[in-house]
């Protein structure tokens, strides 16, 4: 059965739209662009940073003049794990703020029909009640290690709501939980927890090491969303959602970092010890989203079971290592 049979309206929505996907060559962006191609829009433009530095207003204006988009999906971001956020808080704040705020403003000025802004679960307060509900976004300050990044992305929500109220600009704001999957960043210095653990376990297995070191004490919990599911959620929202109320995108599956580490070790075939370095930060104590709004407003439900998604991710990374691409 084809997508057009399941969703007869989907290609009709995209067929006359010129779409810009910032960050379209990145981890999430590459899957959004792939899925978008199957929906056959009039044009897809995925600008590269070497051609258009989105921190610069003139570069944004040039992109909009060149691409003439009807719809923008803004995925471009400076991202990284706890260590990268701790070492570069100013850049994480400035780069993300300037890209987002200027792009949304110039898109409004240029008459773009719709703007899809991608936020982050890091925008939530450190001690948000579980599950995280969208109305809790302003009930405290984010967890300190990634607050600059979280706050910079959160400003897009304020801007979206302000521009809708004053100008009637159709912009939406989505809050994906932690993503994982093939094509993720496996650099131990800048990666997030899942690719870091996969790499550590595989390298330890291959070298015969008897242990790996994991950060913190393993007690925090996280929710993870498979990248292809996230891409589908973003495109469904782009098609069907027209409000500046924020919307969570997640899987609603919560797992502790300790359980995650043990699972990755098992799936990668690493049989050694796991040593917890408690001198390193845990990050936010718990993360689990309420995904009711996404289901009710635009019909998004994640479909990839967590262990299956991990197996796909590990298999992809093993293939990359086998041909010397990592």
Which residues lie closer than 8 Å to 175 by C-beta, 6 or more apart?
A: 119, 120, 121, 123, 124, 134, 246, 247, 248, 249, 289
Distances (CA, A) of 14 to 44, 71, 91, 105, 193: 10, 10, 35, 23, 35
Beta strand extents in 48-134 (DSSP E only): 71-74, 114-118
Q: Please provide the size of the chain in residues.
A: 326
Identify the bridge partners of residue 18 per DSSP, sorted by sequence position: 43
In angstroms, the CA 73 to CA 172 distance is 10
| Catalytic residue status for 52 | no
Q: Which helix (H) or strand (E) holds 183?
A: none
Q: Which of 52, 124, 149, 226 is catalytic?
A: 149
Question: What positions carry a catalytic annotation?
Answer: 149
């Amino acid at each position: 059965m084809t997508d057009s049979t399941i969703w007869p309206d989907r290609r009709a929505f995209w067929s006359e739209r010129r779409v810009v996907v910032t960050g379209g060559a990145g981890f999430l962006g590459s899957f959004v662009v792939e899925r978008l191609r199957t929906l056959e829009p009039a044009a897809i433009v995925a600008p590269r940073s070497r051609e258009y530095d989105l921190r610069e207003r003139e570069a944004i204006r040039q992109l909009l003049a060149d691409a003439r988009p009807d719809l923008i999906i803004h995925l471009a971001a400076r991202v990284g794990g706890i260590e990268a956020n701790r070492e570069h808080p100013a850049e994480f704040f400035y780069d993300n703020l300037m890209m987002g705020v200027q792009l949304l403003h110039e898109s409004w000025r240029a008459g773009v029909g719709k703007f899809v802004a991608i936020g982050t679960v890091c925008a939530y307060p450190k001690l948000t009640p579980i599950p995280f509900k969208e109305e809790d976004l302003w009930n405290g300050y984010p967890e300190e290690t990634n607050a600059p990044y979280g706050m910079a992305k959160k400003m897009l929500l304020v801007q979206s709501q302000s521009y809708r109220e004053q100008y009637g600009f159709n912009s939406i704001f989505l809050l994906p939980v932690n993503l994982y999957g093939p094509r993720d960043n496996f650099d131990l210095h800048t990666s997030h927890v899942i690719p870091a653990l996969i790499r550590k376990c595989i390298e330890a297995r291959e070298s015969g090491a008897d242990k790996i070191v994991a950060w913190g004490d393993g007690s925090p919990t996280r929710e993870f969303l498979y990248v292809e599911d996230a891409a589908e959620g973003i495109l469904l929202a782009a098609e069907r959602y027209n409000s500046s109320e924020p919307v969570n995108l997640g899987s609603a599956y919560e797992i502790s970092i300790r359980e995650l580490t043990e699972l990755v070790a098992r799936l990668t075939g690493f049989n050694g010890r796991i040593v917890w370095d408690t001198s390193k930060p845990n990050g936010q104590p718990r993360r689990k989203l309420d995904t009711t709004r996404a289901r009710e407003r635009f019909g998004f439900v994640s479909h990839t079971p967590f262990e299956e998604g991990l197996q796909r991710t590990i298999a992809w990374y093993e293939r990359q290592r086998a041909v010397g691409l990592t």
